[in-house]
Structure 1
Amino acid sequence: MPASPLFRRIDVAPAYQKVADAIEREIVSGRIKPGDPIGTELELVRQFGVNRSTVREGIRVLEEGGLLRRDSSRRLQACLPRYNKLATRLSRALVLHEVTFRELFEVSMTLEIASTECAVERATEEDIAELAENLARSEQVIADPAALAECDADFHVLVAKASHNRVLQLAREPAAQLFFPTTEMIVSHAAQGATRLVEAHRHLLEAIRRRDKAAGVQWTRRHLQDWRRGFERIASLDRSVEHMYMEHAQAVRRK
């Protein structure tokens, strides 16, 4: 009986992926800057020594990932992927891995507190003005769960922006996108949910304005604990995100 092999076969990446990987390395390393041209398709064909269809497929991969774009004359330029493109891809991965709301909650507690702490230290007058505008809009739509949920998501994006830490901005977005639909559900089911949400935002804004880190952390923690209590009234924290949203979508269709 032959012995079990110690090693698995090596997968050879297709040529278009090698083209995409080579260009991505240059952009990520900073050798090609955002806005720099990367050459025409014909120039890339000559440089890589591959056929045109291979280059086109590699370019398509990079365009979908947000690392390349075409200017008004259709010329290719390097660019940095926007937060939402990265977050959407990672959010899908979280769903496919059947993560639970408990896992999202635990990670978000850490990331949202970190965002608040940095925002307290670094928020500019412009950042504070944007947060105040969001709070005013939230107060106007407090009776509309869908609109309030959107304001809530925007408020936390603005806090992360005020942290002036791009890693925090990137890190919190995938989980935040999965949280977003639950806010409308909670506010719709909890009589005081909308009021408590707006109150938490008001205190968070004041903490940032006063540079009061302790108050900022305290209200971020309270805000997330409120979400947890509200969520546990409608579902278990150990439900997977995928199953929860599938059931919610089916319920909406039945109405």
Structure 2
Amino acid sequence: MSGPRFEPVRTVRAYERIVEQVEQAIESGALSPGQRLPSERDLMGQFSVSRSTVREALRVLQARGLVRSRPGDPNGAEVLPFSSDALQKSMASLARVEGLSLGELVQFRMVLDGSANLLAARLRTAGQLAEMEAAIERMRAAVTEGYDAFSAADVAFHDAVARASGNKLIQICVEVVRSIVLGLVADRLADAPDREALMRRSIRHHEEVLAAVRDGDGPLAARLARQTMYDYYAGYVPAAERPALRALLDQPPTVPE
């Protein structure tokens, strides 16, 4: 018999329907940060479900960073403001479960950092430039202090650039993707035999970016960001994935193949 092939129907559990409705209420603005959900007893009545079903839904919502629930609280769960932690957990899970590769993550970071630098060069304030300069100064001092201090100063620089872009979504995505990428290669970076040379090379890259941002040269700042990401991470990416990274470069790579 010919015709469309149907998939088995998935049974949706009652707690999942509760989660969906609460998520929709938060996304639509019907529930705002700081507001409270009804008590467990009221939720049981509104959804016509058992207490265990309500508590399972609250556990899921809390795990997703949407509410804060305290057992026995008569006021109900509190709706939380948005946090990048939830997005970070989701992307980290995607990387593990769906096989999102390091190459794909680095490529996305090249796109993000390039866009952040482009916007920062055109929109930055004097105060934001001072933040970038201070971060580079801390990077210089941290060369002899150790990798952790250097990494913290490096993060401070990129956070300052992302803020200078004026785009909150770029800021969030830069933070999330950076964290995941560093989580995948942190041990190899920390244990690299030429770690000090890598740190000094990184400082030079950041100085070049700062100069371009200060001069208002957005295209150059964007190119430098993409090239820097490639130079820093390409050696950790499988050779088969590097062409996708090189596609974002405006000139041949500076690291050996």
Give distance in 1, aligned partners of 2:104 and 2:80: 32
Secondary structure of 1:153's counterpart equals helix
Deviation, structure 1 residue 6: 2.5
Partner residue, 1:101: 102
Partner residue, 2:223: 218
Secondary structure of 2:78's counterpart equals strand
Deviation, structure 1 residue 154: 3.7
Partner residue, 1:164: 166
Q: Aligned-pair RMSD on alpha carbons?
A: 2.9
Q: 1:145 aligns with which of 147, 154, 159?
A: 147
Give distance in 2, aligned partners of 1:169 and 1:7: 42
The verdict on how the C-alpha distance between 1:164 and 1:225 changes in structure 2, with shifts beyond 3 A counting, is same
C-alpha distance after superposition, 1:137-170 (max 9, x if no partner) = 2111113223323332343233223322222233
Q: Note if contact 2:92-2:180 (Cα within 8 Å) is conserved in structure 1.
A: yes
The verdict on how the C-alpha distance between 1:127 and 1:45 changes in structure 2, with shifts beyond 3 A counting, is farther
Secondary structure of 2:166's counterpart equals coil
Give distance in 1, aligned partners of 2:93 and 2:21: 25
Secondary structure of 2:68's counterpart equals strand
Partner residue, 2:246: none
The verdict on how the C-alpha distance between 1:70 and 1:192 changes in structure 2, with shifts beyond 3 A counting, is same
Name stretches of at least 5 consecutive residues in structure 1 with no aligned partner: 240-255
Partner residue, 2:251: none
For 1:236, give the aligned amino acid. Answer: P
Instruction: Determine if the alignment matches structure 1 residue 115 to structure 2 residue 119.
Output: no
Q: Note if contact 1:33-1:78 (Cα within 8 Å) is conserved in structure 2.
A: yes
Q: Structure 2-normalised TM-score? A: 0.77
Deviation, structure 1 residue 196: 1.4
The verdict on how the C-alpha distance between 1:195 and 1:59 changes in structure 2, with shifts beyond 3 A counting, is same
Name stretches of at least 5 consecutive residues in structure 2 with no aligned partner: 242-257
The verdict on how the C-alpha distance between 1:32 and 1:227 changes in structure 2, with shifts beyond 3 A counting, is same
Partner residue, 2:203: 198
Give distance in 1, aligned partners of 2:239 and 2:88: 22
Q: Note if contact 2:163-2:171 (Cα within 8 Å) is conserved in structure 1.
A: yes
Q: Structure 1-normalised TM-score? A: 0.78
For 1:32, give the aligned amino acid. Answer: L
Q: Note if contact 1:131-1:158 (Cα within 8 Å) is conserved in structure 2.
A: yes
Within 5 Å, give how 1:1-255 maps onto structure 2: 6-70=5-69, 74=73, 75=75, 76-143=77-144, 144-181=146-183, 182=185, 185-186=188-189, 188-190=192-194, 192-228=197-233, 231=235, 236-238=238-240
Aligned length: 234
Deviation, structure 1 residue 24: 0.6
Give distance in 2, aligned partners of 1:49 and 1:129: 57
| Aligned-residue identity in percent | 24
